[in-house]
Amino acid sequence: MTTLAEINAMLREQFTDALGWIFEESPWVAAAAWAERPFASREALHRAMVRRVEDAGVARQRALLLAHPDLGTRARVSAASAGEQTGVGLDRLTAGEFATFTEWNRAYREKFGIPFLFAVKGSSKQDILAALRVRMESRVDEEFGEALRQVYRIAWFRIESAVAE
Question: Structural domain boundaries of the chain?
Answer: 2-164
Round to whole Å and give the CA distance between 79 and 55.
27
Does residue 68 have an active-site annotation?
yes
Annotated catalytic residue within 32, 39, 48, 68: 68
| Residue 68: DSSP 8-state | S
CATH code for the domain defined by 2-164: 1.10.3330.10
Consecutive H or E run containing 77 = none
pLDDT tens digits, 118-152: 999 999 999 999 999 999 999 999 999 999 999 99
| Residues 14 and 27: beta-carbon distance below 8 Å | no
pLDDT tens digits, 50-102: 999 999 999 999 999 999 988 877 656 677 776 777 777 877 888 898 899 99
Q: What is the torsion angle, in degrees rounded to the nearest 10, for the CA atoms of residue 135, residue 95, residue 81 and residue 49?
A: 0
Q: What are the backbone dihedrals phi and psi of residue 104, each rounded to the nearest 5 degrees, phi first?
A: -70, -40
Query: Max CA-CA distance within the chain?
Result: 49
| Residues 160 and 42: beta-carbon distance below 8 Å | yes
The β-bridge partners of 144 are: none
Round to whole Å and give the CA distance between 110 and 105.
9
The β-bridge partners of 84 are: none
pTM of the predicted model, to two decimals?
Answer: 0.93
